[in-house]
Amino acid sequence: MALIVQKYGGTSVGNIERIKNVAKRVARSYDEGNAVVVVLSAMSGETNKLVALTQEVSEFPIGREYDVIISTGEQVTVGLLALILKEMGYKAKSFLGSQVPIVTDSQFGSARIESIEDERLRAVLNDGVIAVVAGFQGVDPEGNITTLGRGGSDTTAVALAAALKADLCEIYTDVEGVYTTDPNFCPNARKLEKVSYDEMLEMASLGAKVLQTRSVEFAKKYEIPVMVRSSFNDAPGTLVCKEDKEMEKVVVSGVTYNKGEAKISVLRVPDRPGIAAKLFRPLTEEGINVDMIVQNISHDAHTDLTFTVSNADYKRALKLIKESTAAVIGAEEVVGDPNISKVSIIGAGMRSHAGVASKMFEVLANEGINIQMISTSEIKVSCVIDVKYTELAVRVLHDAFGLGTNEIVEEKD
């Protein structure tokens, strides 16, 4: 008997009819002789509505009560699915994060899973019960409800698969797998049969929201094979797994975009040791993540420093930086720009191929797209551009690296 964790996202549980469809899939897997743990998201749009409610009553709502509110969407769907399965004659039981329990730290709004106790789930599975677990939520050591960051149900699923030593973790969503780029953005995107943990990590963290980044970190750490597939048909999906020789040959396997960041520039910062530390400390203390950082060459002992943060943190970051530059650093001006987007190319084969970055810059230049910031790693190149060119940039890069066709750009020898 295999143990399978199946996660269904918001669109897949968007209404009663769809939840009934999920129930049929779950039942099929159970009837095939598997022990099944189901992880659900809230109905699509629900978490956004709950976030909007918190914003109506508070300028900076993130904190204990925020998580109490935005975690409720999942409570509804798990209850409904368990009820439907029971109506169909199956044994099923819903679990909230705190009832498993899935223990996290206390970083409200983006908590990290610290441990999962598996006794309760194992006990019900041994009794032939289908366990239906609320995604996205946990509980901290003090008993406070926490949430795992947007898209966090993926992480619940993979972390449960790791804790239960499941044979497979299936992520059911509204597309048939992981594509060379967002298939809803670029019609000729191609579905990948397999993608390595490292490539998927980069793709997820650079904007491919099909999997939450943390879920891929868990999958990689515990070597959980993750199958991403559609909940609407039986098409084969994409397997996220360890890198193999074939994958290394593909120079660029995906293009991503992220419109969810904003840029902040601090102008004429004194060029002295310790200044960057002072500048970023208040952000760290507030739990704000800084992504790309660019510092210009110093002129007359002053330099310009530009960095990006997520849109959700933008207003708070701008306020903090303005305060700290005025009080401590003595820079001349702080300017913010939320109208940016980050486009990236990703591929394990970049490790062994030169010239990939310069080709990317050329392709963007040919379209008259100005590059505002650049960052690279072993297997990716990212450029920050004006948000209005996002779609164009993704399309031309996707074409230029031969991703839309079946012809993959491979090593020649």
Site residues (vs ligand ADP, CB under 6 A) = 9-12, 41, 151, 173-175, 178-179, 181-184, 203, 208-210, 254
Beta strands in 149-258 (DSSP E): 168-173, 194-196, 226-230, 238-241, 254-258
User: Smallest gap, in angstroms, from Cβ of residue 39 to ligand ASP?
Assistant: 9
Pick the closer one to ligand ADP by CB: 74 or 291.
Answer: 74
Among 135, 207, 254, 282, binds ligand ASP (CB under 6 A): 135
The residues with which 196 forms a beta bridge, in sequence order, are: 241
Distance CA 405, CA 177 (A): 17
Which pair of structure tokens corresponds to residue 184?
A: 């809803």
Pick the closer one to Mg ion by CB: 151 or 237.
Answer: 151
Residue 13 and residue 75 in contact, taking contact as beta carbons nearer than 8 Å? no
Q: Which of residues 198-257 bind ligand ASP (CB under 6 A)?
A: none
Give Cα separations from 42 to 2, 53, 89, 229, 406 (angstroms): 27, 16, 24, 18, 36
Closest-CA residue to 155 (of 233, 234, 98, 209): 209
Q: Which of residues 173-202 bind ligand ASP (CB under 6 A)?
A: none
The residues with which 344 forms a beta bridge, in sequence order, are: 256, 382
Beta strands in 204-275 (DSSP E): 226-230, 238-241, 254-258, 261-270
Q: Which of residues 73-132 bind ligand ASP (CB under 6 A)?
A: 73
250 binds, among ligand ADP, Mg ion, ligand ASP, none (CB under 5 to 8 A by kind): none
Distance CA 8, CA 20 (A): 12
User: Smallest gap, in angstroms, from Cβ of residue 393 to ligand ASP?
Assistant: 26
Distance CA 316, CA 58 (A): 13
Segment contacting ligand ASP by CB under 6 A, of 147-155, 250-258, 266-274, 320-328? 147-155
Residue 326 identity: A
73 binds, among ligand ADP, Mg ion, ligand ASP, none (CB under 5 to 8 A by kind): ligand ASP
372 binds ligand ASP (CB under 6 A): no
User: Smallest gap, in angstroms, from Cβ of residue 207 to ligand ASP?
Assistant: 15
Segment contacting Mg ion by CB under 5 A, of 1-9, 103-111, 232-240, 369-377? 1-9
Distance CA 173, CA 233 (A): 10
179 binds, among ligand ASP, Mg ion, ligand ADP, none (CB under 5 to 8 A by kind): ligand ADP
Distance CA 265, CA 306 (A): 4
151 binds Mg ion (CB under 5 A): yes
User: Smallest gap, in angstroms, from Cβ of residue 114 to ligand ADP?
Assistant: 23
Distance CA 210, CA 343 (A): 16
How many residues belong to the site for ligand ASP (CB under 6 A)?
13
How many residues belong to the site for Mg ion (CB under 5 A)?
2
The residues with which 229 forms a beta bridge, in sequence order, are: 172
Pick the closer one to ligand ASP by CB: 138 or 152.
Answer: 152
Pick the closer one to Mg ion by CB: 138 or 151.
Answer: 151
Pick the closer one to ligand ADP by CB: 177 or 282.
Answer: 177
Please give the residue whose beta carbon sits closest to ligand ADP in the complex.
Answer: 9
Pick the closer one to ligand ASP by CB: 41 or 306.
Answer: 41
User: Smallest gap, in angstroms, from Cβ of residue 168 to ligand ADP?
Assistant: 17
In this structure, the strands spanning 35-40 and 130-134 are: parallel
The 3-state DSSP class for residue 36 equals: strand
182 binds, among Mg ion, ligand ADP, ligand ASP, none (CB under 5 to 8 A by kind): ligand ADP
Q: Which of residues 58-77 bind ligand ASP (CB under 6 A)?
A: 73
The DSSP annotation for 94-159 comes to: EE-GGGTTEEE-S-TTS--EEEE--HHHHHHHHTTPEEEEETTEEE-TTS-EEE--TTTHHHHHHH
User: Smallest gap, in angstroms, from Cβ of residue 127 to ligand ADP?
Assistant: 29
Among 14, 109, 152, 183, binds ligand ASP (CB under 6 A): 152
Which pair of structure tokens corresponds to residue 384?
A: 């920050």
Distance CA 216, CA 306 (A): 29
User: Smallest gap, in angstroms, from Cβ of residue 91 to ligand ADP?
Assistant: 26
Q: Which of residues 6-65 bind ligand ASP (CB under 6 A)?
A: 9-10, 41-42, 47
The residues binding Mg ion (CB under 5 A) are 9, 151
The residues binding ligand ASP (CB under 6 A) are 9-10, 41-42, 47, 73, 135-136, 150-154
